[in-house]
Amino acid sequence: MRKLTGKELAAAIKTQTAAEVAAGPQPRLAVVVATDDEASLWYVRSIAKAAAGLGIAADLVDLGPGARAEQIRETLARLGADAGVHGVMLQTPLPAGISAQEMAAAIDPRKDIDGANPLSLGRLAAGLPAFVPATAAAVMALLDHYGVELAGRRAVVVGRSTVVGKPLAHLLLDRHATVTVSHSRTRDLAAVTSAAEVLVVAVGRTGLIGAEHVAPGAVVIDVGTNPTGDGGLAGDVDFDAVAGVAGALTPVPGGVGPVTTALLLRHTARAANLP
C-alpha cells in the first residue's frame, strides 16, 4: 500500500508561491471569522502563520460568534472594495441560522480564493476559469502528484457538500472520470464505494469507511478531519483496516490538509497578480 502524504507537495507549492510573491506586489489575504469554535480558530491562525512564511500579509477579521448576517455581508463587501486586499475568505461555521452560501455571494469573485461564491462554483460547473475550493483542488493536486490515472476510471465521491463533494465531482468529470456521488441517503454505501477505482471521502465521521467499503488496489483519498478530543485529528477512513486492501491511501493528518493550505496561499498570490 502506497501512503500518499501531502507534505512534500505542499512544500513544493509553497516554494513556488513564495517565488511568485517575491516577484510581485505583496498579496494581502483577509479571513473573516464569526465563531468561537476552537478548531476553526486554530485553522485560520495556521493559515495566517503559513501566509506570513511566504511573505503574504494575512488579516483575521474577527466579528465574533454573535455577528449578524448584515454585518458579515457588509464586511465582505468592504473587503471586496478595498484595493489593498487581494484574497477574501469566509471561515465556517457561521452563527446559527446564517447561510454560508448566502454570505459567500458577497465575496468579490476576483478575490474568492476558496471558491466559495456560488458564482465560482457555477463557473466551475460550466467549465469556465474560476477559483476552485481549495480542498477540492488539493484532492486533484494530490492525485496528479502521485500520477493517478483518471480518464475513463470509476471515481466515487462520498459527501455532496458545496465546499468539497460537489466541486470535486465537477473536477473529476473534467478529467474524464466516471463519477458517482454518494451521501447520507445513499443505500448500501459499501456496494457503491467498493466499485470505485478512485475513492474520495469527505463526510466528517471518524472511521466511516472500513475495509468492506474498498476494492482491492483502489486509490483512497481521505478528506475528513475529525477532532479526536486530545488535540489530534482522525480521518473518515479507518486507516489500518483500509491499508490492508487499498493500493494507495492518504493519511490524516498529513494528507489533503497541508495541500489545501498551500493552495489557498497560491490562490491568494494569483489573485494579487490578476490583470
Cα–Cα distance for residue pair 110/122, rounded to 1 Å: 14
Query: Does 159 engage in binding with ligand NAD (CB under 6 A)?
Result: yes
Query: Does 158 engage in binding with ligand NAD (CB under 6 A)?
Result: yes
With b for 16 or more beta-carbon neighbours within 10 A and e for fewer, the 22-41 pattern comes to eeeeebbbbbbbbbeeeeee
Q: Contact region for ligand NAD (CB under 6 A) — 72-80, 172-180, 221-229, 242-250?
A: 221-229
- Using CB under 6 A as the binding rule, the residues of this chain from 59 to 98 that contact ligand NAD are none
Length of the chain: 275
CA-based nearest residue to 47, from 139, 125, 135? 135
| CB closer to ligand NAD out of 89 and 208 | 208
Which of residues 34, 85, 113, 163 is near ligand NAD by CB under 6 A?
163
2 assigned ligand-binding residue: no
Query: Does 250 engage in binding with ligand NAD (CB under 6 A)?
Result: no
Which of residues 225, 245, 248, 268 is near ligand NAD by CB under 6 A?
225
What distance, in Å, lies between the first and last C-alpha atoms of the chain?
Answer: 44
User: In this structure, what C-alpha cell is assigned to residue 133?
Assistant: 475550493
Query: Does 186 engage in binding with ligand NAD (CB under 6 A)?
Result: yes
Q: Contact region for ligand NAD (CB under 6 A) — 7-15, 123-131, 144-152, 156-164?
A: 156-164
Query: Does 260 engage in binding with ligand NAD (CB under 6 A)?
Result: yes
DSSP, residue by residue, 14-28: HHHHHHHHHHSSPPE
Which of residues 26, 183, 217, 244 is near ligand NAD by CB under 6 A?
183
| CB closer to ligand NAD out of 5 and 226 | 226
Contacts of 192 (CB under 8 A, 6+ apart): 156, 180, 182, 186
Residue 268: alpha-carbon gap to chain centroid? 14
Query: Does 223 engage in binding with ligand NAD (CB under 6 A)?
Result: yes
Q: How far is the CB of 255 from ligand NAD (least distance, A)?
A: 7
Query: Does 27 engage in binding with ligand NAD (CB under 6 A)?
Result: no
28 assigned ligand-binding residue: no
204 assigned ligand-binding residue: no
**Residue type, position 164, single letter:** V
- Using CB under 6 A as the binding rule, the residues of this chain from 113 to 152 that contact ligand NAD are 135
Cα–Cα distance for residue pair 103/113, rounded to 1 Å: 15
**Taking a C-beta distance cutoff of 8 angstroms, is the pair 90, 104 a contact?**
yes
Residue 220: phi and psi, rounded to 5, are -120, 125
225 assigned ligand-binding residue: yes
Residue 96: alpha-carbon gap to chain centroid? 22
Q: Contact region for ligand NAD (CB under 6 A) — 54-62, 72-80, 204-212, 262-270?
A: 204-212
DSSP, residue by residue, 88-101: EEEPSPPSTT--HH
Residue 209 DSSP symbol? B
Query: Does 226 engage in binding with ligand NAD (CB under 6 A)?
Result: yes
Binding site, annotated residues for NADP(+): 159-161, 225
- Name the residues that contact ligand NAD, by CB under 6 A: 135, 158-161, 163-165, 182-184, 186, 189, 202-205, 208, 223-226, 256-257, 260
Binding site, annotated residues: 159-161, 225
